[in-house]
């Protein structure tokens, strides 16, 4: 959208507006205490801006647009976000005008819940975005969400392929493609996969199933670890979005490079004592040098398995003083 205008009413709203400005091309104003500014601001920008965003109570947004709608009809997309940034609600021009798509995009950025209120014909308001959030599935390309919502609203079938079993009764208008049907099935509308997949016209949902185990020498820089991680992902066709957390030894708790990688991926870093790592059962790539220096024979593999409570799927991979391993968590996806 070319022009987005936002209006906030409180200190919390101001902080949320500042956060939105970091990622979106959006102009924000503060509404003073009198109601007159609310209506004059809305009258000025409604129909001229592509979207209006009210950061505050939903009733405020509804009141603001009710009068101008009577005079000018449905012109701009209108969205309301609560002060705490927990819910993003499109209230005007949702499916057709792009408000749903913008709400999904903003919600994805804020890690909020999009409240899509369209009724998809007997689907009881099933929203692929809301469902994905409840199942802890990241949306790789949220801009495609509106196409899925539109098909559901038109009572058209949605074809979903998943690398993981999905428990429960399949909702109406959802067709689940099994691995056995994949080759002969229609092009999927939605793919659920932790692998690095590339579909032009498919919404990709990514389960966070992997724990990245990391071991690194003290002199390893943030840049070196970041470059090594990129190489690791390319080699193993790993989608970084699928990483749930990073694990290592508590000897690394003061090493900035691993913390920086944790921040870059926006996932938690879990560290374990040497005794905890040594207690992990299994067969690991043992290094006498690592054991001599740290007290355990392998940090990356042991920490990944310990944090995931699952199995090792990618063994120790070394990059000039940096070692990665990957373990997979057990997850359940339900309708």
242 occurs within a structural domain: yes
As a whole-number percent, the residues of the chain with pLDDT over 90 amount to 54
Helix (H, G, I), strand (E, B) or coil at 56: coil
Tokens of 146: 């509106």
Average pLDDT score over residue span 86-102: 80
Give the pairing type, strands 4-8 and 26-30.
parallel
Of 154, 174, 207, which one is at a domain's C-terminal end?
207
As for how many domains the chain has, the answer is 3
pLDDT of residue 88: 92
Residue 232's H or E segment, with its range, is helix 222-236
Domain CATH code at residue 312: 3.30.420.180
* pTM across the whole model: 0.61
What is the band of 1 on the pLDDT scale with cuts at 50, 70, 90?
low
Among the listed ranges 83-87, 144-148, 285-289, which one has the minimum average pLDDT value?
Answer: 144-148
Q: What residue numbers bound the domain in which 179 lies?
A: 140-207
- What residues have CB less than 8 Å from 135, skipping those under 6 apart? 207, 333, 334
277 occurs within a structural domain: yes
Chain segment 167-209, per-residue pLDDT in tens:
998 888 899 998 788 888 888 999 999 887 777 789 999 999 9
Tokens of 277: 């790592």
Average pLDDT score over residue span 264-270: 93
216 contacts 240 by C-beta, under 8 angstroms: no
**Whether pLDDT at 119 is above 50:** no
């Amino acid at each position: 959208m070319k022009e987005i205008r936002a209006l906030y009413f409180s200190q919390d709203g101001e902080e949320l507006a500042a956060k939105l400005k970091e990622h979106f091309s959006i102009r924000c104003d503060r509404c003073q205490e009198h109601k007159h500014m609310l209506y004059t601001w809305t009258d000025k920008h409604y129909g001229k801006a592509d979207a209006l965003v009210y950061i505050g109570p939903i009733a405020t947004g509804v009141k603001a647009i009710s009068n101008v709608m009577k005079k000018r009809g449905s012109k701009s997309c209108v969205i309301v976000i609560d002060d705490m940034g927990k819910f993003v609600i499109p209230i005007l021009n949702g499916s057709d005008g792009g408000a749903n798509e913008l709400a999904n995009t903003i919600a994805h950025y804020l890690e909020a819940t999009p409240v899509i209120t369209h009724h998809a014909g007997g689907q009881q308001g099933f929203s692929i975005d809301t469902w994905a959030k409840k199942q802890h599935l990241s949306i790789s390309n949220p801009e495609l969400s509106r196409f899925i919502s539109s098909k559901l609203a038109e009572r058209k079938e949605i074809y979903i392929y998943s690398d993981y079993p999905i428990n429960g009764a399949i909702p109406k208008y959802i067709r689940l493609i099994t691995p056995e049907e994949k080759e002969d099935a229609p092009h999927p509308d939605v793919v659920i996969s932790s692998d690095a997949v590339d579909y032009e016209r498919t919404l990709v949902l990514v389960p966070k199933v992997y724990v990245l185990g990391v071991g690194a020498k003290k002199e390893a820089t943030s840049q070196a670890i970041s470059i090594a991680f990129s190489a690791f992902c390319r080699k193993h066709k790993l989608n970084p979005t699928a990483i749930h957390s990073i694990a290592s030894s508590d000897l690394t708790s003061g090493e900035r490079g691993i913390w920086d990688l944790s921040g870059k991926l926006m996932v938690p870093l879990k560290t374990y004592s040497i005794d905890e790592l040594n207690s992990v059962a299994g067969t690991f790539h043992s290094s006498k040098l690592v054991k001599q220096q740290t007290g355990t024979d392998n940090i990356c593999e042991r920490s990944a398995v310990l944090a995931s409570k699952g199995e090792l799927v990618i063994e120790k991979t070394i990059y000039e003083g940096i070692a990665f391993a990957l373990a997979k968590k057990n997850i359940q996806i339900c309708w």
